[in-house]
């Protein structure tokens, strides 16, 4: 349901948002959560949902939507592909999305995107890494581990001697 939104920053449809809110309301009622209360570290979810949680913004408490994903959704959206090049890896594209992927080279990694580069919990390992795009997003996907703790699904790593990020 959410694969496209997770992998390409597309917006969810009204129906998808409504379903996520309904799942959140049902979960909150069944588990006695108060409005503004998020999940505790040991509360794994079986369904994707949105809960409104209280966060601090500029010193004030505000309500913000928090998307919680089930292990199944996270697993279904894993892209377990890797690119490896002995002396280098060059990628030229309009948009580049990597979710839980890896790129490695003993030499250089060049990713040139006309629009954007999205690296979500992805590993880049090379002597030199060059990222060039109008927009570069590097973040970590969070999930709940078997102990009930929030952790990155796979730590975001950029391992190199020199990193150059060009945002046009």
pLDDT in tens, 70-84: 877 766 665 555 788
Please check whether residues 96 and 34 belong to one and the same domain.
no
- How many domains would you assign to the chain? 2
In this structure, the chain runs to a length of: 168
**Nearest residue to 143 (alpha-carbon basis) of 100, 109, 101:** 100
Please check whether residues 138 and 67 belong to one and the same domain.
no
Structural domain ending residue among the three candidates 20, 49, 75: 75
CA atoms within 13 A on the CB side of 41: 8
Please check whether residues 84 and 162 belong to one and the same domain.
yes
Task: Identify any residues that bridge with 102 across adjacent strands, giving them in sequence order.
Answer: 82, 123
In whole angstroms, give the CA distance from residue 55 to residue 79.
31
Please check whether residues 159 and 88 belong to one and the same domain.
yes
Structural domain ending residue among the three candidates 55, 75, 95: 75
Please check whether residues 88 and 151 belong to one and the same domain.
yes
Please check whether residues 86 and 153 belong to one and the same domain.
yes
Indicate the pLDDT class of residue 147, thresholds 50, 70 and 90.
Answer: low
pLDDT in tens, 28-72: 999 898 888 888 766 678 898 888 888 877 788 888 888 887 877
| Per-residue pLDDT at 18 | 92
Beta strand 102-105 with 82-85 is parallel
Structural domain ending residue among the three candidates 75, 98, 119: 75
State pTM to two decimals: 0.49
| Structural domain for 150, as ranges | 79-167
Please check whether residues 163 and 83 belong to one and the same domain.
yes
Distances 35 to 52, 64, 66, 83 between C-alpha atoms, Å: 7, 11, 12, 44
pLDDT in tens, 95-117: 888 877 788 888 889 999 989 88
| Per-residue pLDDT at 39 | 82
């Amino acid at each position: 349901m959410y694969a496209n939104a997770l992998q390409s920053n597309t917006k969810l449809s009204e129906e998808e948002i409504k379903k996520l809110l309904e799942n959140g309301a049902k979960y909150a009622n069944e588990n006695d959560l108060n409005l503004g209360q998020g999940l505790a570290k040991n509360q794994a979810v079986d369904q994707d949902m949105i809960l409104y949680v209280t966060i601090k913004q500029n010193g004030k408490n505000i309500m913000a939507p928090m998307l919680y994903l089930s292990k199944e959704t996270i697993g279904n959206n894993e892209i377990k592909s890797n690119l490896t090049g002995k002396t280098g890896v060059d990628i030229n594209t309009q948009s580049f999305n990597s979710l839980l992927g890896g790129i490695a080279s003993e030499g250089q990694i060049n990713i040139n995107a006309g629009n954007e580069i999205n690296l979500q919990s992805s590993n880049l390992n090379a002597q030199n890494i060059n990222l060039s795009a109008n927009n570069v997003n590097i973040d970590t996907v969070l999930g709940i581990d078997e102990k009930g703790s929030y952790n990155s699904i796979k730590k975001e790593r950029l391992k190199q001697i020199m990193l150059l990020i060009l945002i046009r």
